[in-house]
Copies of this chain bind each other. A is one copy, B any other.
């Protein structure tokens, strides 16, 4: 294991200390717990949006806490859920009189802890709603059973924008729901990653082998085989996405080309060019392209392709709304 760290058992907390020290005007923690990550710029009367999940996916999850996006994040250990108490304390801090939306990835441990936090809020008479990102097309044929991966970015953007517009809790939930219904992702890995406290990768890939459809925690994909070209991967990924969410010529989409950690920005733009070329040929119009690291798996090499259909004008306005966090700035 080659990593720039101190003690493996301090990985998450050392990271958090670095983040708080670098961005003190934007984020803070509460309950004397580094893992209760909150905006430092609470806005009265706004629906509070709270996410959470394991460490190891930066900028997911905490990186989207900031202006016109999210308000708080429960931070778990590497690939582990935050506790219900942590989520509850974040919610108590950032709740601003208009209720709480829990918006996170579709993983069993997270669901359990967010649901318990919702019950705790209910006892305090704080209204909450929950929605999970479940965009990973190849993780399950059943849309409700799919894992949440990079496409949650579009749920954050739409819900965050609606909350910034001072929408009600139901309206913010509906914005997230609209983004969810219109977002699909396919990912592929060229290398595994190493969980610091384990010290070795939890699966292996041979010298010229890749894994197609695998998850951001190393969940098995649909095939392992020789590394394909960017064009081939773009084609195969879009075929899966479009089989699940057909797009007619003339429809508009946003595209997110997400690096899983070790893949260079050069490669991401090569892949982005291939995706664009295929969409152009099909007559699908690209409203906006996002390229970079949005949901990673530490130093895993690979990428994911997310497509978010622009269902209406309102969605485009949400996507276009400026946003500002320590990890993501859009003007």
Contacts and interface: CB of A to CB of B under 8 A. Distances in A.
Interface of A: 2-6, 11, 14-19, 21-23, 55-56, 58-59, 63, 190-191, 207-208, 210, 227, 229-231, 233, 261-274, 276, 286, 289, 291, 293, 296, 298-299, 301-303, 322, 324, 327, 329-331
A208 B199 CA distance: 12
Contact of A264 (B261, B265, B268): B261
A81 to B, nearest CB: 17
Residues of A contacting B: mostly: mixed
Please name the 10 residue pairs, one residue from A and one from B, whose CB atoms are nearest each other, closest first. Answer: A18-B273, A18-B269, A262-B262, A22-B289, A58-B265, A4-B267, A18-B272, A329-B329, A2-B190, A264-B298
A6 B191 contact: no
Nearest to A232: B6
Max chain B CB contacts within 10 Å: which of A2, A56, A229? A2
A2 B276 contact: no
Nearest to A296: B264
Nearest to A328: B329
B296 A11 contact: no
Contacts of A299: 262-264, 301
Determine which residue in A191, A267, A298 has the highest number of CB atoms from chain B within 10 A of its CB, and name it: A267
Contact of A15 (B207, B269, B286): B269
